[in-house]
Structures are given as C-alpha cells and as structure tokens.
A and B are shown apart, each in its own frame.
Chain A
C-alpha cells in the first residue's frame, strides 16, 4: 500500500499487512518530527505525482531486494513534535533484504518524491531544504 494521508499512521496495521509465513524479517522505518525549537511542522505534497513516484520506488525495491511486501505511508498537514511523518514497512525472507529495501525506499523518497516540510517556530518559519527563512 502506498498512501498519503492527513490521518495518523498505524504502524501496527502496516506490520500486520506485510507479515506472511514466507517472511523471516519485517523492518520498519519511522520518520518523526524532531524538536529543533519548532512548534509544529507543515507537510505538503504534490499528491498525484508523489503517489506515482512512491509506487515506482516501491516496485523497484520489491524487485531489487526480493521483498515479499512493502508499504509506505506519508503524512501531510500540520504535525506536532514527536508525531510520525512517514512510515515504511518491508518484509523479506531474510533481514538483509528487508533492511536494504527499507533503506532504498527512504533514500529514493527523499530524492524523488514531491513532498515538502515547513518548520514553524515562535518567531520564524523555514522550508526544509531551502536556505532562506522569514519572520512570522
């Protein structure tokens, strides 16, 4: 499953969907909002293009690392410190493939998926990945 949602991520449901009798390993990655002195984070997506790119990345990971199943869920909207931004869950026969597949998905997502984060603090706001910031 590939999903971009404003709703909270249920990691447990994702894990249950990728479990199978053929899988000896399930690896999960959670990206969370770090407290860098910010009050909240806003996450934005070019939804249609991001879904297409995430599906392509998932299929590449499935085939390169012989995954049994893989799911990616990315949040959009306003998130508080500590909340999950992203969850990736991969199952494979062995841990090496599951770890490699999970790492491949997060690294490619960061390079290719049209998604953006804005950090909002008490006195400033900043688009992640852009050098300029402005007072609010």
Chain B
C-alpha cells in the first residue's frame, strides 16, 4: 500500500495498492510510481534520476532515510508513505 500526502497526494491520489515482484525495494516501488505518473517523476526525481532531497518517506509509519534505505526490501502488507517537507503548527 502506498500513501501519499500534500503535493504528492495531488499527483498520486491518497492511497493505492501496488503488487510488486518478490524482493522489490523501496526504490523499485518509487520508480514504478514514476512510470505510472510522469508528474510524480518530475516532482520526486531530479534529472539524473536521483530522488530529490525534499522527498520524505515512511515505511509502516516509521521514517526511513532516503539516502540510505532505498534498497530496503518491502514485504507483503508493508505500507510506504511518501510526502514533502512537514509544515504543521
């Protein structure tokens, strides 16, 4: 399950279920979203194909570090949340 918030929700919709190949990683899932929605690719990835540094991620409601954890494997039932910088308060 992918949850998207704020500007990414406007592109991807609030939630969508994706069926990934076995041993798919966070990066695989983000790239699949980029293929499905070019506007997401433009918003989330730079010209070199690297994830933009303002993109924030959670897996199962815990923040992960996009500079280190994109190769993390996802399991059946995992929830990935993708969102821009926080702005509460």
Contacts and interface: CB of A to CB of B under 8 A. Distances in A.
Interface in B22-41: none
B73 interface: no
Interface residues of A, number: 27
The bracket for how many chain B residues form the interface is 10 to 19
Given A86-B88, A110-B86, A49 B6 contact: no
Interface of B is mostly: loop
Contacts of A46: 3, 5, 58, 81, 83
Interface of B: 3, 5-7, 9, 54, 58, 61, 81, 83-89
13 contacts: A31-B89, A44-B6, A45-B88, A46-B5, A49-B81, A74-B89, A85-B89, A106-B89, A110-B87, A112-B86, A115-B87, A127-B84, A129-B84
Interface of A: 31, 43-46, 48-50, 52, 74, 85-86, 106, 109-118, 127-130
